[in-house]
Chain A
Amino acid sequence: MNTIVLVKQVPDTTEMNIDKETGTLIRKGVPTIINPDDLAGVEAALTLKETYGGSVTAISMGPSQTEGMLEELYARGVDECFLVSDRAYAGSDTWATSNILSTAIKSLEYDLVIAGRQAIDGDTAQVGPQIAEFLGIPQVSYVEAIDKIDDDKIFLTKAYETYSQKLSCHLPCLITTLSEMNEPRYMHAKHIFNIDKKSVKHISNEDLKLDETEVGLKGSPTKVHKTAVKSVQKKTIKLKLSPEEAAQKIIDTIQGKEGARQ
């Protein structure tokens, strides 16, 4: 069972603040983390390896600083890590990103590709299914449990809004995982000592040879037109009141509204 798991380094969005003067996000000093849904994918891949044998390969796309995160994955027990990085890839939207990552994956052997359901910075949930299409393999998204692997099939539980579904899918395939599906393991001392012996392998556009019209900003069908911190200005009546006054004011407001409706 050879599994490729896709991992993204993301800013911890719960730690993010807005510069009220400029209306932009302050990214400086915001800690980076392994995207939670991806970390569940790593854990799932390691569990599969323990049960069925084989290998776990992690691939990330991002700037060179991403290497630190991949080294951490070695410490968790991943066998091989690749960093796909090239200046030409900057500004890629989900289509271009999927195009790049799927090209990198095509040179590797795999039975299963795992991607996190979505990254907490972009929240698009698009790269997994798009990579599956580029690879020409079936996909199952929103996986909350891997039940078993039997011959050439993987048995999964998929989460819907208010129910779940048990299904099977022919291998090779791609699944996207939810962070709720497992508890990621800690880094292991045995593996931490191995980090020195294992280095992150780099893949650039010299390897992938993609045309500049299909990567980066130029190769992205979608463009960010503008970003804004959401401003909602309403005419708020703001009052400092005692609890008694406040309760009365609230009751009046609600009843006044009911009166107006009748």
Chain B
Amino acid sequence: MNYQDGKDIFIFIEQRENHIQEVSLELIGEAKKIAKTRAFEMKVVGIVIGYDTDQLVQEVVEHGVDKVIVIDQSHFAAYDTLNYTDALEQIINTYHPEILLVGGTVIGRDLAPRLSARVHTGLTADATHLAFDETDKHSSLLYVTRPAFGGNLMATILCSEHKPQMSTIRPGVFDKPERETANEASVIAFNEHFTNDASVEILERVEKHIDMVAIEDANVIVSAGRGVKHCLPLIKSLAHKMGGEVGASRALIDEGFVKKPHQVGQTGKNVKPATYIACGISGAIQHTAGMEKSETIIAINTDEHAPIFNVADLGIVADAKAVLSELNARLKQL
């Protein structure tokens, strides 16, 4: 699609059972940040689609948007690909967003490509960095950076001739803005008539009985790589003593030493704990992509040229097993 008048950043606010997904709020914060770098007024607009959405709209307003566009109809209560695509298509045709950001969740990555094909625009997948042209403050061309080739490469993608410039954004990359009850925004009800497509019928939700750990929320992560795969009890014990969680590189997940929910990195989770201790992890981009934002990174590795040392605050060239034993012993004494 192509139009001239778009200049605002729209964010699809993803809700499930009337709970807003964190990534949507993270996007509000980042959109506001980049909008401020422009020499013209660029509004941040939240799109809320659902049923009985008053609370959601309020939450979006309090996280700092300038405007909210709301579709509140019963058949939008739960996500449906075709119905949500129709809704967003009409919003795009009506309001001409310059940019449309969607959280890179299972739902976001189902919806955004379908919509981009529908409105004929470019879509960048699973981005981790957004920026405008620093030299031209009147430009609204978005530089979207994303990992590719299993995290081996960072690619910056542009969509200069089609609108909206669309991107899905990886969850956990940007900071969620503070919630301020004093924030105000205009709220627009977009209650057009939408047909209800019933091709897909949701039958039931099935809980997964997997080891549910939320390493994203941990204050301390002690993380294991190939170099320590035979001393995981030491890792677990240290993590426990420090009140933290166990993380792991992809190698240990692939080899079955540690379960998937513990995986840090490109194909695992993004974490930013206060302290991240990387033990026997070489530090491929695949891994560092998911932990480099940690406050303090301590790396222990026998190979002094291991790339993990490039992202560490403190690098210790030593046998991780010996250091872990020593740490475990000393922490017992504390």
- Interface of A toward B, CB cutoff 8 Å: 11, 13-14, 16, 18, 25, 93-95, 98, 120-130, 132-134, 138-142, 155, 157-170, 173, 220-244, 246-251, 253-254, 257
Contact = CB atoms under 8 A, between A and B. Distances in A.
Contacts of B154: 227-230
A13 B201 contact: no
For B109, B117, B200, the residue with the greatest tally of chain A CB atoms inside 10 Å of its CB is B117
A226 B317 contact: no
B320 to A, nearest CB: 9
Nearest to B167: A222
A163 B107 CA distance: 13
Nearest to B163: A221
Nearest to A157: B206
A246 B124 contact: no
Interface residues of B, number: 81
A124 B206 CA distance: 26
Contacts of A227: 148, 153-156
A243 B323 contact: yes
Contact of B205 (A163, A237, A241): A163
Contacts of A14: 150
A168 B117 CA distance: 24
B292 to A, nearest CB: 6
A258 to B, nearest CB: 9
B110 A232 contact: no
A149 to B, nearest CB: 15
B117 A251 contact: no
Main secondary structure of the interface of B (DSSP, over half): mixed
A223 B160 contact: yes
Interface of B: 81-82, 85, 105-106, 109-114, 116-118, 120-126, 143, 147-150, 152-162, 197, 199-208, 212, 242, 274-275, 277, 285, 288-289, 292, 295-296, 298, 300, 304, 309-319, 322-323, 325-327, 329-331
B313 A234 contact: yes
Contact of A93 (B122, B160, B322): B122
B285 A129 contact: no
B205 A123 contact: no
Contacts of A247: 323, 326-327, 329-330
A230 B285 contact: yes
Nearest to B118: A133
A203 to B, nearest CB: 20
A124 B108 CA distance: 12
Given A130-B113, A237-B313, A138 B150 contact: no
